[in-house]
A = this chain, B = another copy of it.
Amino acid sequence: MSNLGHTIRREFPLFNDPANQGLVYLDNAATTQRPRQVVEAMQDFYYHDNANPHRGAYRLAERATQSYEDARDKVAGFIGAASSEEIIFTRNATEAVNLVAYAWADHVLQEGDDIIVTEMEHHSNLVPWQMLAQRHHASLRYVGFDGQGQLQLDQFDALLRLRPRIVAVTQVSNALGTINPVAEMIRRAHAAGAVVVLDGAQSVPHMAVNVTELDVDFLVFSGHKMLGPLGIGVLYAHKRLHSAMQPVLYGGDMISNVDYDHSDWNDMPWKFEAGTQNVAGAVGLAAAIDFLRDLGMDAVAEHDRLLTGYALEQLQQLDGITLYGPRRNHGPAISFNLTGIHPHDLATYLDQASIAVRSGHHCAQIVMKKLGLAATARASFYIYNTLEEVDRLIAGLNQAKDYFKKWL
């Protein structure tokens, strides 16, 4: 198990590039690398089956359509959706959240309604709701988190008493590493009559997520954070919401009939996919799912846990470190700071040692405000990382402390 990182690395050509020799890539929460299986699946599509899907009466177009719809079926299976109709392809998780806001929420929200988010949301699952609230004079309410980065569920319960229309919450935080008890939260939200939008950008890549078991209303995630290509994301929309959803982007396949003064729409899910779609992206995402399934999502989660546990243990021993987020049950993104070293300077130092970590607010400025910080450094792991790489990180941090000593 601890060897997963070693054995699997070979499949990722980026790590074999001489220019990236010795690279310790620890920015997986931002985007992952791609195994050759994913890139080759896209290449195969372009070199053998490429055509504009859905509309051609010739065989090549049929193969393209099949590739696209097979990818949709694969996504549906991967997250346990009841039907492929519930899978809408988007550009990324961000667009998927916005689509929920424009396609559904704009049609049901009323003045004075409440929308619940949490203080640990990524901007992508926060600002769309902020703007929605502004458009409808609705109230945006925040569930806070405690010193361990855990959501304050008593606040959540109190807010549910307002009978909010929408609850938008992330399953795993990219800034704190918190894994939220979303199954329970969904149950309570539903009991209060709310519709739940789950941000799976950091969960779907790392653990088995089953929308039917969760009984979630909407789930969003991005292909590029789970070995898949850039430019493809997913909105899962439970069938019960379909009739209340209206198209947002118009043109191309999403249409069934156009007349001079009005038009009619195609069926789900195509009515939300306007214009020529990123078929190669969907094909690449399907290949990524195959890759992850071959490993098994439990093995993926186990590897994350191994690395994260070891990293937390080692990091804690560094003098002058502050770790943000939970002590236990920590997701694979670890935010921290070293006293007196700005995370930006730290990242530059580590980069010179070929260690790629993120520094900044991680698109979670509310988290930073709450912690009274401008920025943190963040190391985030995935299947190709190894325990030795964690050691490299720790060594790098020790050297950085030494280097910046005189700046303190």
Mark A residues whose CB is within 8 Å of B: 13-14, 17, 19-20, 23, 25, 27, 30-31, 33-34, 39, 42-43, 46-48, 50-52, 55-61, 91-95, 97-98, 122-128, 130-131, 134, 140, 142, 222, 224, 229-233, 248-252, 255, 257-263, 274-281, 344, 347-348, 350-351, 355-360, 363, 365-366, 369
Contacts and interface: CB of A to CB of B under 8 A. Distances in A.
Contact of A363 (B39, B130, B255): B255
Contact of A124 (B55, B140, B251): B251
Contacts of A348: 57-58
Count of chain copies = 2
6 pairs of A and B residues whose beta carbons are closest in the complex = A94-B275, A231-B278, A124-B251, A30-B52, A57-B347, A127-B250
Nearest to A30: B52
Contact of A48 (B20, B52, B128, B360): B20
A242 to B, nearest CB: 20
A61 B356 contact: yes
A31 B276 contact: yes
Given A251-B94, A261-B140, A357-B58, A50 B27 contact: no
B366 A50 contact: no
Contact of A260 (B31, B123, B366): B366
A50 B262 contact: no
Given A34-B46, A131-B263, A231-B278, 12 more contacts: A17-B48, A30-B51, A33-B50, A56-B347, A58-B356, A58-B357, A98-B251, A124-B274, A130-B261, A230-B279, A255-B363, A259-B369
A60 B128 contact: no
Contact of A250 (B47, B123, B260): B123
